Amino acid sequence: MKLKSFIVASLMLPMAFHGAQAQKANNKALLKTIDQNLSDAVAQYKVMQQQLPEGRFPKSFDSTKNQLVTSNSEWWCSGFYPGSLLYLYEQKKDTQNFNEAKRILGLLEKEKMNTGTHDLGFMMYCSFGNLYRLQPDEATKQILIQSAKSLCTRFSEKTGVIKSWNGKPNEYLVIIDNMMNLELLFWATKVTGDSSYAKIALTHANTTMKNHFHPNYASYHVVNYDANTGGIISKRTAQGFADESAWARGQAWGLYGYTVMYRETKNPIYLKQANNIAKFMLTDKHMPKDKIPYWDYNATNIPNALRDASAAAVMASALLELSTYNKKEAKNYIKVAETVLTNLSTPTYKAAPGTYGGFILKHSVGSIPHGTEIDVPLTYADYYFIEAMIRYKEMAKS
């Protein structure tokens, strides 16, 4: 794989896409709704700021206690709150949101040295990556480069993947979510000229493509590699319904991740992979008409299974970008994204002003098997909902 094409390319935005001329996004009613949603989100995140304890990051909301559920900076979702604030500042120019983003980024910066997690793309690129895009400076650049270096320490030549979770000494646990952290590595190669970051991303994506997918392009959640031999010990789930089931958010992570892979490399194998994942998701018999997926495509209590707004938001954002690379399916991908954004904007999914601790969306699912974050707001649902709305706006201008 030649790296020159993206080493010399202009810096990618965390939410940018550089495909062929995009199919026009021209739903005027939706565009009006999006503008209102973004204004509402600015107000909601001010509510969140007021309720957020000192030194903590928002994670979810406990309706029974009527209070935010928070985390420290080490939690994998810590970058979504500042990332959302920066997206909203970019759209609405509200300085309070920007100042809050800068404050919380000061607490997050130390995670650049964290080698105990694979989620530094989520944590640092969704946050500091957006800051660098809006206000590029050397300090932010170095934070991101160090974050990429820390992420690379989890790569193994023997297995060909970046370790997601620490397990037994002989285990190398990798989850499909890890595809979302590769964008940081491509960015690092572009700003440093050091191809080693991108080579790791490519190797991880190729190994994952080989081992993580069923013949119908549904994805396993977890693949456990033998750390000593690189062989596969097992394939299973952690947050899905069953080992062989299609956990909804995992499918969305894969779709988004391979869309990014095509953007960064222009290698058609990644475009084919992304399109095949999209085909599985959109044609599965259990995809609801409103396109807000059940938390698992194979949950036994469908149609009474919980929906996952976070999976829908990630899917919508990914499909909008993918539509710019596939003229044949562009209209369909945009239509699905429009359906998702329209339905997430209704009172069923969108929180009323001043409620839910300032979160934008309700009804996401963290992990039913673990009994955590079930049918609650989640920071990444908000982040990708905002991102998808911004992408739609930008496509309307094209």
Binding site residue list for substrate: 119, 177, 237, 249, 253, 367
Catalytic annotation, pick one of 119, 296, 308, 382: 119
- For residue 303, is the peptide bond before it cis, meaning its omega torsion is within 30 degrees of 0? yes
Which of left, alpha, beta for 373 (phi over 0: left; psi -120 to 50: alpha)?
A: left
Amino acid letter at 154?
R
Strands, E assignment, the chain: 57-62, 67-71, 155-156, 161-162, 171-175, 222-226, 232-236, 364-367, 372-376
CA atoms within 13 Å, Cβ hemisphere of 388: 36
CB-count burial class (<10 Å; 0-12, 13-18, 19+) for 4: exposed
The secondary structure element, H or E, covering residue 181 is: none
| Pairwise CA distance, residues 398 & 390, whole Å | 13
Q: Which of 35, 40, 94, 177 is catalytic?
A: 177
Helix-strand-coil percent breakdown of the chain, rounded to 5? 55, 10, 35
- Region of 266 (left: φ > 0; alpha: ψ -120 to 50; beta: rest) is left
Q: How far does CA 193 lie from the centroid of its chain? A: 26
Residues contributing to the annotated binding site: 119, 177, 237, 249, 253, 367
Quick check: 148 and 188 in contact, CB under 8 A? yes
Assess whether 119 carries a catalytic annotation: yes
Are residues 376 and 60 in contact, defined by beta-carbon separation less than 8 angstroms?
Answer: yes
Distance, CA of 168 to CA of 80 (rounded, Å): 30
Strands 67-71 and 372-376: unpaired
Catalytic residues: 119, 177
